[in-house]
Structure 1
Amino acid sequence: MTIQSVREFINLHIYNSKVFALTLSRLVIILVSLVTIAALIVYYGFPQTEESQKSLIMIIQGSFAFYIFNYFLKIFYSFEPLVLIRETWFEAIIMLFLIVEGISYNLFDNLILSEVFIRLGIKNITHYYAIFIQLYFLAVVVIAGLRSSHIMPIFKIHPSRIFISSFVLIILIGTGLLMLPEMTTIEGSMPFIDALFTSTSATCVTGLIVYDTPTFFTLKGQIIIMILIKLGGLNIIAFGSFLVLASKFGFGVKENSAIEDFVNKESALSAKGMLGRVVIWSFAIEFIGAALIFFSWSEKVVFKDVGEQLFYSLFHSFSAFNNAGFSLFTDGLSNEVVKENWAIHNLISILVFLGALGMMAIFDIFDLEKIKERAKMPWKQLTFATKIALYFSIGLVLFGAVSYYFLESDNTLEGMSTSGIITTSFFQSITRTSGFNTVDIGSVTLPMLVILTFLMFVGSSSSSTGGGIKTSTFALLCASTIATIRGRKTPQLFEKSISNDLVFKAYSVFLFFVIGNMISIFLLCISEQEILAMEGRSIMDLIFEEVSAFGTVGISMGITSHLSYAGKVIIILSMFVGRLGTLTVAFGLAKKPISTSYKYPDGHTMVA
């Protein structure tokens, strides 16, 4: 009897129970994942006794044993086991890892991977991979459930509403986690409004803080903030790709053309492969950045061990590329230990610029296939959207850097070396999207504050991790204005004609941002009378804070921690709307018109 015949015999006898067994295992694995995640939250979020710690560890270890059993169950019920292993290779590696760790723990009372990392100077690696494995299996099972769901297709969900809901969910989960006692250095939990503010700031990659991140939050709290930054930084393109994939898995997502609007039409990326590329490229850039930062710390920065140095490097790389602006130094990069570390400043500037450029532009510029294609066929150029993102970003950076040099030469730049002046000027210009600062923004002159406010208002490029009205909107407004002045019927840019639809959207975004900022500034003027009454404070502090929040920048003149309860709520809403985009929120809340197949008579009026 051959192996093939044995396999066929088994397949025939297990066929009737296959659907029931696999469905039951999916339900059980969801329950196991949720229970284990709850155990992890209790384990890391609350003080533990020796007995409670042992009980929680047993639950976590039991979940690992169940995951191994469940994987072998899937292999047993598969008609082609080798094909299944090849298709689920990542899961197979995790199972192999868990088996090896389980054997080593039971035989030698030690974990191999943990021992390796301890010898490298990195402690507590077990905690990180335990959390990762739980979240991974929960995500896998949920996606598998959506794929086979027969209920979800009946719901017709607008993409904007899914996008908004996903951010609300992440923010609320982050708020709950940050309120756990073990996340902060204070006794008990941090106030709800402050936890909500911090979670929103991290998820919306803004960087405004009410408490000093390195001193107020424990390592666990800082890890939560870093995770929120990454989740928020998986920008609109990744979520757009997810929506397309979700529609294939069972969601009744309607109007997928709305998703296409966030991606330039000339992009060679398909919706199926887009999400994977965004995630892989973003992690690759962040890890490369972290490695370079790791070797660039000066002797002034004293780390406890290699693990802490690695965490600081990862945190600042994630924060920089995602344009979050969070730092593990009091006063940010203007702290004395890193204030003159030009290598760190330059690395973070590059990461911030790439993050603000946008993933579609990064793909177009740095993809090897596109580079080879342009080398062989010189007439092949960068796409229209990439040209706008790249050239206007460079133009804004140069404008900001030159302005900073001339306006601050006798102020914040005074006494610096030539390399320091150049680095600082460019850094403060690039930081228009990120929130990092290497100087005290409160000491900057008023003319430069006005220019920084303008740069924050424009913000980053489309499909990027930054906010603002976007360089594309700014470019279309400029092109439309020039066309009007020259009497052209159609705006032109980079030898391309721009449709009226794009111009209308650009003006809509601009108008929404102006109105949103004006309303918020007006409300802040009412709620923040105490700040306005402080010596040296003026309405410019509130304007700067609001534009920074609405543009998800994170630069502050030092008033964030002094905001009232109402002021914090206003800034939270500003960060949320600014991150999602005013049009996204408007589309999500607006009702679809019954009909658009009609036209009123033309109206005429004086414009000027």
Structure 2
Amino acid sequence: MTFNDFREIGNVYLYKSKSRNLGILKLLNLIVSLTALVVLAIYYGYPNTAQSDQNLMDIMRLSFGFYVVHYLIKILYDFHPAEFLRRTWIEGIVMIVLIIEGVSHLFFDTLIHEPVFRALNISSGVDLSLVFIQIYFFIVVIAELLRKGSILPRVKMHPAIIFILSFLGIITVGTLLLMMPEMTTSGNGMPTLDALFTSTSATCVTGLMVEDTMVFFTFKGQMVLLALIQLGGLNVIAFASFLALVARFGVAITQHDVIEDFVNRDSYLSGKSMLGRVVLWCLGIEMLGAIALGLVWSSDIPFNGLGDRIFSSIFHSVSAFNNAGITLFTDGMAHPWVATNWLAHWVITILVFFGALGMIALFDLFDPAKLRSRMRSPWKTIGFATKIALYFSFILVFIGAISFAFLEWNGVLEGMSGFGKFTTAIFQSVTRTSGFNSVDIGSVGLPMIFIFIVLMFIGASSSSTGGGIKTSTFAVIVSDVWRTVRGFDHVQLFKRTINPTLRSRAYSVLMFFILGNMVFLFLLTITEARLLSMGEFSFVDLAFEQVSAMGTVGLSTGLTHLLSPAGKMIISLSMFIGRVGTLTVAFALGGRALETHFKYPEGHTMIG
């Protein structure tokens, strides 16, 4: 009897129990992963005794053992083990690492990678590896449960509801984590409202903060912020791909319009493995940014060893590419340690600009296959959506930089070198979508503050982590206005005709954004009347804060930490709506539209 014959007999014998046992293991996997994550939260979030630490770590090791056994059983039940290993090679590598570490701990009472982390002066490196592995397996479990034939019920949900609930889930978990004692240097945790505000700001990649990240949070708290920024950023740019995974929930093709705010339709419907590409490209760009920052940090920064330098580089790279604008320096990039660290400013500027372009534009511009295609066929050009994102982003950066240099030459730029003024003007113009600041925004003159409000209102490009009405909306509206002024028959942009549906969506986004800002700003004038009456801040500062929040920018003139509890709730809601998109909220609240096959007689009225 050959080996293949033996395998065939084994497969036939195992087939009867395959579906039942794998279903039970899948459910157990979810329970084990959730339990392990709760144990991790207790282990890192609260002070524990040596005995309780040991007990919690034993539970973690048991969970790792379960993961290994589960993976081996899946190999056993698979009819094509070699193909299964090729398909799950990442998970296989993690399993090999867990087995090696388990054997090392069992026989030598140490972990293989402990010396590596000690050499990098990362005291909690081993603990971090446990966190990453548990989160990885939790993601694997969720992905398995979403596959066809899952034990999860086939619940029909509107895609807008899915998107909103995913953000609410991340924000809720982040709030609970930030309230834990071990997350703050005081050992008391954040108050509930401040934790909610901070979690919302990080998840919605806004960057408005009520506390100084550098001194208020411990390393664990900063890690939570980093995770929230990464999850929030990926949630936005990967949502279109996520829809393809959850199409079995009953999402109709006609409902996919709900996310056209974020991603070009042709791209996400045609991409076979879009989600994987999005994640890999994001992580790849962030890794390159972290390496660049690690090389150019100023020698004035008192890093506590190589590990601290690496973490700071990763944190700022992720924050920049995701347009979050949260830094580990008091007063941001205006801190004396980095205020004249021009190379670091340029790295962050490039990361923010790429993040604000959007993944669809980045794929179109830098995908190797498309680059080769354009080299072979010079007549081929970048896509229509990419042209809008790229050209209008450059135009807005140019306008912002020239305005900043002209208006603030003898203001906040005074005393800087020529190269410093040039860098700062570009930096502040590009970071209009992210909230990084290399000068005191509260000291910027009123004319430039007004221009900042306009630039923040327009925001970044579609499918990006930036907010605002988006460059695509702005481009369509400007083209429509130009058509009206010149009396053209059609709205044209880059030798393409804009259809009425697209124009209608653009004006809808504009109106929702204007109304949203007006309503929330009106409420802020009521809740922050005491703050305005003190004379230190004006109505313009309040308007700046509101537009910055709804545009998910994060720039502030300095009043964020002075907001009343009601004001913090209003700004939190603004950040949330600005992040998920005004049209997404409208779709979620609007219900199912009824199709009608008739129309009323045309009406006419004077306009203007």
Report the TM range for the smaller structure's normalisation. Answer: over 0.9
Opposite residue 177 of structure 1, the aligned amino acid is L
Which shows bigger deviation, 109-118 or 156-165?
Answer: 109-118
Query: Following superposition of structure 1 onto structure 2, how do residues 173-184 of structure 1 map, counting pairs within 5 Å?
Result: 173-184=173-184
C-alpha distance in 2, partners of 1:370/1:28?
44
Judging changes above 3 Å, is the alpha-carbon distance between structure 1 residues 597 and 230 closer, same or farther for their aligned structure 2 residues? same
1:366-445 aligned at under 5 Å gives the runs 366-445=366-445
Question: What does residue range 201-600 of structure 1 map to in structure 2 within 5 Å?
Answer: 201-247=201-247, 250-254=248-252, 255-258=254-257, 261=260, 262-265=262-265, 267=267, 270-600=270-600
Q: Distance in 2 between matches of 1:374 and 1:91?
A: 36
Query: Structure 1 residues 464 and 172 mapped into 2: Cα distance closer, same or farther (>3 Å)?
Result: same
Are 1:266 and 1:383, in contact at CA under 8 Å, matched by a contact in 2? no
Q: Which amino acid aligns with 2:570?
A: I
SS, match of residue 207 in structure 1: coil
Residue 48 of structure 1 corresponds to 48
SS in structure 1 of the partner of residue 296 of structure 2: coil
Residue 10 of structure 1 and its aligned partner are, at CA, apart by 2.2
Following superposition, the deviation at residue 237 of structure 1 comes to 3.8
C-alpha separation in 2, matches of 1:464 and 1:483: 28
Post-superposition offset of 1:606: 0.9
**Contact 1:152–1:252 (CA under 8 A) maintained in structure 2:** no
* SS of aligned partner of 1:295: helix
1:256 deviation in Å? Answer: 4.6
Matches within 5 A, 1:68-217: 68-149=68-149, 154-217=154-217
1:129-165: CA deviations, max 9, x gaps?
2122222222222332332457767532111111111
Q: CA offsets per residue over residues 362-382 of structure 1, 9 Å max, x none?
A: 111111221121122111111
String of CA shifts for 1:349-368, please: whole Å, max 9, x gaps: 00000000111011111112
Deviation at 1:29, TM superposition (A): 1.6
By how many angstroms is 1:535 displaced? Answer: 3.3
1:220: how far off? 0.6
The amino acid that maps onto 1:90 is I
Amino acid at match of 2:249: F
C-alpha contact (below 8 Å) 2:433/2:456 kept by paired residues: yes
State the shift of 1:40 in Å.
0.7
Which one is further off, 317-326 or 13-22?
13-22
Q: Please identify, of 177-186 and 454-463, the stretch whose mean Cα deviation from structure 2 is larger.
A: 177-186
How far apart are the structure 1 equivalents of 2:308 and 2:191? Answer: 28
Shift of 1:119: 2.1
CA distance in 2, matches of 1:357, 1:271: 19
Deviates more, 1:579-588 or 1:263-272: 263-272
Once residues 9 and 300 of structure 2 are traced to their aligned partners in structure 1, the CA distance between those partners, rounded to angstroms, is: 69
Distance, in Å, in 1 between the alignment partners of 2:313 and 2:183 is 20
Aligned AA (2:306): V
**Deviations, residues 393-432 of structure 1 (Å, cap 9, x unaligned):** 0000000000011100111111110100100011111111
Distance 1:121 1:236 in 2: 34
Tell me: CA distance 1:154–1:297, structure 2 relative to 1, closer, same or farther (3 Å).
closer
C-alpha separation between the residues in 2 aligned to 1:235 and 1:58?
Answer: 33
Does the 8 Å contact 1:235/1:463 carry over to 2? no
Cα distance change, pair 322–394 in 1 and its aligned pair in 2 (3 A): same
Amino acid at match of 1:420: G
User: C-alpha distance in 2, partners of 1:606/1:588?
Assistant: 34
Per-residue deviation at 1:493?
A: 0.9
> Does the 8 Å CA contact 1:152/1:251 hold for their aligned counterparts?
no
**One-letter identity of the residue aligned with 1:495:** K
Asked whether the 8 Å contact 2:468–2:551 carries over to 1, the reply is yes
Show structure 1 runs of 5+ residues with no match.
none
> Aligned in 2, Cα 1:485/1:152: closer, same or farther, shift over 3 Å?
farther
1:585 partner SS: helix
Structure 2-normalised TM-score? Answer: 0.97
Distance across 2 between alignment mates of 1:492 and 1:235: 33
Cα distance between partner residues in 1 of 2:357 and 2:45: 37
Structure 2: state its 5+ residue gaps: none
Q: What amino acid is the match of 2:256?
A: S
Post-superposition shift, 1:487? Answer: 1.1
Deviation string 1:466-493 (CA, Å, 9 cap, x unpaired) is 0001011111111011100111231111
1:556 partner SS: coil
Distance 1:396 1:284 in 2: 27
| CA–CA separation in structure 1 for the residues paired with 2:489 and 2:152 | 46
State how many pairs are aligned.
606
* Paired AA for residue 294 in structure 1: G
Determine if contact 1:244/1:256 at 8 Å carries over to the other structure: no
Q: Deviations over 1:417-458 (max 9, x none)?
A: 010010001111111100000000000010010001100000
Helix, strand or coil: the match of 1:475? helix
Q: Alpha carbons of 1:265 and 1:146: their partners in 2 closer, same or farther (altered >3 Å)? A: closer
* Secondary structure, aligned partner of 1:95: helix
- 1:174 is displaced (CA, Å) by 0.7
| Matched residue SS, 1:431 | helix
Q: Which residue of 1 aligns with 2:602?
A: 602
C-alpha distance in 1 between matches for 2:401 and 2:558: 22
* Alpha-carbon contact 2:202-2:225 (below 8 Å) kept: yes
For residues 243 and 404 of structure 1, do their structure 2 counterparts lie closer, same or farther at Cα, with a shift above 3 Å needed? same
* Aligned residue identity for 1:7: R
Amino acid of the structure 1 residue aligned with 2:251: V
